[in-house]
Structure 1
C-alpha cells in the first residue's frame, strides 16, 4: 500500500471514518440524525475529532523528539505547535473557524516532512500523511463549498 505498512494503512483508513461520517451526514438525513443524537450537528463531529487527531499527532511528534533525546529547540517547537494551533484557533469564534482546521491539517504536512528529513519518522510516514491529509481536506471541502454555494444563492435570491 504505497510502501506504507499494511496495518498502519488500514488503521489510517479506519481512523478516517469519523471524517467520512460527518461528510456523509452533510447530505444524508438518516446518517445526520444518527450523528446528531450522539454528537450534535455533524460540524461538532468534524471539530471534536479534529481535536483528537491534532492531539494524537502532537503526542507522536513529542514522543519522537523525546525518544531521540534531541536538544534542538526546533524539534520541540515543531512537536508542540499542532496542539497549540488547535487550542488557540479552535476556540476562535469567527467565520474563519471552518477554514482554520483544514489549514492546520495541511500545515501538518510541513511537520511530517521535517520529521522524516530529520530521521525522527520512517520514510513511509510522509506518504501516509499525504494520503490522510488529502482525504481529510476532501471531507472538509464538502461543508465549506456547500456553505459558500448556499450563501451565494441566498444573496442572489435563489433560496427562500
Structure 2
C-alpha cells in the first residue's frame, strides 16, 4: 500500500516533540547538563522527571488528537472512536506514578497502546495516510528515551 510522505512540518514538529524526552536522558548521563539545567530552569526539567511529566502530557494530548479523528466518523464507529480516544489520557492519569521506574514502564506501555489506537483510527481512514509512518518513528523515539529510566 502506498503511503505518502510525511509533511515536512509534521515531521519536524513531531521530532522536536522528542526533545524533552531526550533531554531527560542527557541529564541522567551528563552531570554538566544536569547542573546547567538545575541552575537555569530547575529540578523538574532534569533526569527522569522531565520525560515522565512530559510523557503524561503527551498521552493526554494524543487523546485530543484521536478525539479529532473520531469527529470524522459516523454512527457506531464515531461512538467507538470517542470512547477509545479518551484511553491514553486516562492511562496517564491512573497508571503513571509510584516512582520513576514504574512510571516509565507505564508510559512505555501507554505509548505502545497508543500506537495500536493510532492504527485503528488510521485503518478506518480517519487519520491521514502518512499517520502510521510518523507515529512509528515517534513511538520508537519515546520508548527509546524511556528505557534508561525504566531499566
The runs of at least 4 consecutive aligned structure 1 residues that moved more than 4 Å come to none
Matched with 1:125 is: 131
Structure 2 vs 1, CA of residues 76 and 34 (structure 1 numbering), >3 Å: closer, same or farther?
same
Secondary structure, counterpart of 2:5 in structure 1: coil
Deviation by residue 1:2-59 (Cα, 9 ceiling, x = unmatched):
8211111011111111011111111101211233342424221011111221121111
User: 1:143, 1:34 → 2: CA distance?
Assistant: 20
1:47 and 2:52 aligned: yes
Computing the radius of gyration from Cα coordinates, the structure with the larger value is: 1
Matched with 1:150 is: none
User: 1:58, 1:39 → 2: CA distance?
Assistant: 29
Unaligned stretches of 5+ residues in structure 2 = none
> Are 1:112 and 1:129, in contact at CA under 8 Å, matched by a contact in 2?
yes
TM-score, with length taken from structure 1: 0.81
Shift of 1:143: 2.4
User: 1:3, 1:119 → 2: CA distance?
Assistant: 16
Matched with 1:32 is: 34
Matched with 1:75 is: 81
User: 2:66, 2:42 → 1: CA distance?
Assistant: 28
> Are 1:39 and 1:45, in contact at CA under 8 Å, matched by a contact in 2?
no
User: 1:39, 1:57 → 2: CA distance?
Assistant: 27
Matched with 1:142 is: 148
- Alpha-carbon RMSD across the aligned residues, in angstroms, is 1.8
